[in-house]
Amino acid sequence: MKDRKRVLFVCVGNACRSQMAEGFARAYGSDVLVPASAGLAPAAMLPRETLRAMAEKNLDISSQFPKSLAHLGGLEFDLIINMSGYSLPMESATPLREWEIPDPIGKHYEEHRVIRDQIENLVLELILESRREQEQ
């Protein structure tokens, strides 16, 4: 088997969007992805709405926690996916993709679910793309 793609998901607080993406990538794509996540300004903890939304998909991400980009130190990635809506404060030769996903913080729970499903679909597309790349 070829090497798995190391993917970093970034959002603002590393409490909702990037944590969901990491959780989906870990659960569905561990054969092709090694996911991690970080935030530009990490929150103190994952909101209960995020945990609840993921639990509805039978995914427990309660052991995950918000981290800063600095927390990841010198880890290298094959792809960075930015969901923050802001420019990343780092120079990197690593390929960067922008996913335009609204921040669910402060929104009704139903919006958390819609955003969760949007992230799930994007992660599934990334997994399928990575599997196709491995087959080549």
CATH of the domain at 104: 3.40.50.2300
What's residue 75's pLDDT? Answer: 82
What's residue 74's pLDDT? Answer: 74
- 73 DSSP assignment: T
Q: Which domain holds residue 39?
A: 5-135
pTM of the model: 0.95
Dihedral angle, C-alpha 120, 122, 125, 129, nearest 10 °: -130
What's residue 3's pLDDT? Answer: 87
Tell me how far apart the alpha carbons of residues 14 and 2 are, in angstroms, rounded to a whole number.
Answer: 29
103, two tokens = 């921040």
* Structure confidence at residue 12 as a pLDDT band (50, 70, 90): very high
Total domains in the chain come to 1
Tell me how far apart the alpha carbons of residues 49 and 51 are, in angstroms, rounded to a whole number.
Answer: 5
